[in-house]
Amino acid sequence: MSSVFSLQRLFAMLIKEFIQMRRDRITFAMMLGIPLIQLVLFGYAINNDPRGLPTALVALANDPYSRAAITALENSQYFKFTATGLSPSEARTLMRKGDVTFVVTIPSDFAKQAEAGRPNALIEADATDPAASGAAVASAPVIIERAVASVKEKNPSLKQDLLRSSTIIHRKYNPEGITQYNIVPGLLGVILQLTLVMMTSISLTRETERGTMENLLAMPASPFEIMCGKVLPYLVVGAVQVAVVLTAGRILFHIPFQGDLTLLIGAILVFVVALILLGYFISTIARTQMQAMQMTFFFFLPSLLLSGFMFPYAGMPGWAQELGEIFPLTHFLRVVRAVMLKGADWSEVSSSVYALFVFVGVLLILALKRFKRTLD
Amino acid sequence: MNAIEVTGLTKRFGQKLVVNNVSLKVKSGEIVGFLGPNGSGKTTSIRMMCGLLKPDNGHGQVLGYDLIKDRLRIKSQVGYMTQKFSFYEDLTIEENLSFVARLYNLAPIKKHTTETLEKLGLLSRRKQLAGELSGGWKQRLALAACTMHKPKLLLLDEPTAGVDPKARRDFWEEIHRLAADGMTVLVSTHYMDEAERCHRITYISYGNLLADGSLHDVIASAGLHTYTLTGPDLEGFIPALQADDGVQQIAPFGNALHVTGTDPQALKRALKPLEQHNDIRIEQAETNLEDVFIKFMSDSTDNMQ
Ligand SMILES: Nc1ncnc2c1ncn2[C@@H]1O[C@H](COP(=O)(O)OP(=O)(O)O)[C@@H](O)[C@H]1O
Ligand SMILES: [Mg+2]
């Protein structure tokens, strides 16, 4: 029996890990629950381009121009008039209470000003969450101008010229176009990172915390066997999660899949191995499961912010971009977005995949170096 | 051949000297008791002997293998039962045993596991989670698991702490059975009655080895003389006795007081005043192990200060 590696002992470790994983209901629930919950939350609930925001209407005029403007605003789906026929002060009270996000005021001279080419509706927005109201506010002037123009067209005697500026495209302000298409592939990376790093680091620290590591080390299990015994089961967990996210993304959000599936799976595999090794490395430093958890989050949060998942990478200052490079997630996001959404091939993503390989190599060395055969 | 032969084992954790120059010889087939108060370095010494900790200093052999170079080979032939239960509480009894059988490559796994379960008397409960077992059963499971691969040397770290007296006796009978089959056993404990069940005892205190030998040797080497006092209201005499230089320690044993000292003349002088009291009986007694240990403990706390 070789002292460094024996399949028999690895097999012993694997069986034990799978039994423990199966018995640990919470881990099991996390494995499937986190991907689904995050997917649904980010995919449905967290929307950076919200529609149907509650709006109060203060209409001080009733003429074809104002009626057209109001209908156009409503048709844009950004605004949903939940309160009408209010006085200006009533409307403002509603906004203070948070019942409405916008107050649209049509002044009494709206028709006269519209005919002069200066439709002067007032839109007040609750800007406490700029992201929530930004797109709607940006689009409102255009919507109103268009509505006014269409009324004027029916009356050729009026001057038409002042309305040509009405073709602004509001999406310009959203360079990476944050929609579900962009978020779901990103979520794949985030979910894998959160669950795999945490579960691996916790599962090994648990052995230290419960004292079973001492026993394991006293028996003839080598560090390499213990490491493989811990790493391989989580590879399976990762595979299940990938399948869940990709299938759900397809079914729930109709995410297009442009690229090569083999290439994507290859990149995912390298990323997952890097994550598990990172979890393993954390567990060689942390003494308790609590510490392992804290270290996971210490790593998780900045990577979320700097990887380009939350904020467009291109929009970050140079130092932040450089900092972002030290997270495997940054490189993984580039690959997964390019392959899934843009149909990129190997030559276009190879540098990011190589970066992931570098993480694997470095973490493997660190993990094996830190793992101790003794309890010192 | 000696199963354990180590010299000058020393271990520091940071600045703290936990094991100081400990040398130990254990003959094959012996049951050796490893005694000492809490925190005296028993666990640390045992861990060094089974290759779990690297000694800062010292060398020696365990089962003929070098303590430093052959740690892996030592591991495969030593059974180590940790102080705290360290099998998997979320695995069943059977799963734990087959895990161990697989790690030691004991083919066929099923046969070894079933035999061990039978011997333990846990065959019918084999699907029960190990975490649900009582303290006594956990200890027996752990002992069975770490002797499954028939080690030549068994290291037991306080195996009976927190276990009821009946289970303790059963446990010791099992240890004697294993020793009769040729296994060498080193067992740490701080129960006196368990020390008396060993062929030889070793006493360690704050990292220093203080005594080593048979029960009689250890008691004799302490050089103590003991008197037993019986009678009413003995407590009243304790302050005066304590103040006397001839008396080293006073320990109540049931209704009696054990008064011990190293100098027999001085001890006698100290007890003289009590002879006037007719209702108090003063008898010379044999020093027992507990008296000796109490002396060791008070001596070494003096050293600590
Ligand atoms: N890994 C460690 N790091 C630091 N101190 C330790 C460690 N292990 C044990 N000690 C200290 O060494 C001393 C001896 O411990 P131990 O060998 O467990 O004694 P015993 O088993 O006799 O109760 C104790 O004071 C303990 O706190
Ligand atoms: Mg101990």
The number of distinct structural domains making up chain B is: 2
Mean pLDDT estimate for chain A: 81
- CATH number at B249 reads 3.30.70.100
CA distance A11 to chain B (A): 8
At B131 the pLDDT is 94
Among B219, B243, B260, residue at a domain's last position:
B219
- Range with lowest mean pLDDT among A11-15, A265-269, A334-338, B86-90: A334-338
B72 vs A contacts (CB less than 8 Å)? 3, 220, 222
B269 with B138, same domain? no
Cβ within 8 Å of A, B 58-87? 71-73, 75-76, 78, 80, 82, 84-87
B251 with B190, same domain? no
B94 or A184, higher pLDDT: B94
Over range B38-66, report the average pLDDT: 91
B159 with B235, same domain? no
Q: What is the pLDDT of residues B109-129, one digit of tens each?
A: 999 999 999 998 899 999 999
Mutate to test the pocket of ligand 1, among B43, B204, B210 (most ligand atoms within 8 A of CB): B43
B120 with B252, same domain? no
CA distance B69 to chain A (A): 13
B150 with B111, same domain? yes
User: Would B154 be classed as within a structural domain?
Assistant: yes
At A178 the pLDDT is 42
Q: What is the pLDDT of residues B270-304, one digit of tens each?
A: 888 888 888 888 888 888 888 888 888 777 665 55
User: Would B35 be classed as within a structural domain?
Assistant: yes
B188 with B214, same domain? yes
Whether B46 has a pLDDT exceeding 50, the answer reads yes
Write the secondary structure of chain B as one string of H (helix), E (strand) and C (coil): CEEEEEEEEEEEECCEEEEEEEEEEEECCCEEEEECCCCCCHHHHHHHHCCCCCCCEEEEEECCEECCCCHHHHHHHEEEECCCCCCCCCCEHHHHHHHHHHHCCCCCHHHHHHHHHHHHCCHHHCCCEHHHCCHHHHHHHHHHHHHCCCCCEEEEECCCCCCCHHHHHHHHHHHHHHHHCCCEEEEEECCHHHHCCCCEEEEEECCEEEEEECHHHHHHHHCCEEEEEECCCHHHHHHHHHHCCCCCEEEEECCEEEEEECCHHHHHHHHHHHHHCCCCEEEEECCCHHHHHHHHHHHHHHHHC
Residue B247: which domain range?
A: 225-286
Query: Would the CB of B105 count as within 6 Å of ligand 1?
Result: no
- Range with lowest mean pLDDT among A24-28, A111-115, A312-316: A312-316
Q: Count Cβ–Cβ pairs < 8 Å, chain A vs chain B.
A: 75
User: Would B291 be classed as within a structural domain?
Assistant: no
B68 with B8, same domain? yes
Q: What is the pLDDT of residues A34-88, one digit of tens each?
A: 888 887 777 776 555 667 788 888 888 888 888 888 888 888 888 888 888 888 8
Whether A208 has a pLDDT exceeding 80, the answer reads yes
B6 with B106, same domain? yes
Query: Which of B65, B102, B113, B147 to mutate: most A Cβ within 10 Å?
Result: B102
Q: What is the pLDDT of residues B175-194, one digit of tens each?
A: 999 999 999 999 998 888 88
At B302 the pLDDT is 54
User: Would B92 be classed as within a structural domain?
Assistant: yes
- CATH number at B103 reads 3.40.50.300
At B294 the pLDDT is 80
User: Would B193 be classed as within a structural domain?
Assistant: yes
User: Would B297 be classed as within a structural domain?
Assistant: no
CB of B103 within 8 Å of a chain A CB? The answer is: yes
B111 with B244, same domain? no
B237 with B215, same domain? no
B95 vs A contacts (CB less than 8 Å)? 16, 19
User: Would B296 be classed as within a structural domain?
Assistant: no
B116 with B244, same domain? no
CB of B191 within 8 Å of a chain A CB? The answer is: no
Q: Which residue's CA lies nearest to atom 16 of ligand 1? A: B41
Among B174, B192, B219, residue at a domain's last position:
B219
Q: What is the pLDDT of residues A228-252, one digit of tens each?
A: 888 888 888 888 888 888 888 888 8
User: Would B75 be classed as within a structural domain?
Assistant: yes
B208 with B261, same domain? no
Domains within chain A, CATH numbers bracketed: 53-172 (3.40.1710.10), 179-374 (no CATH)
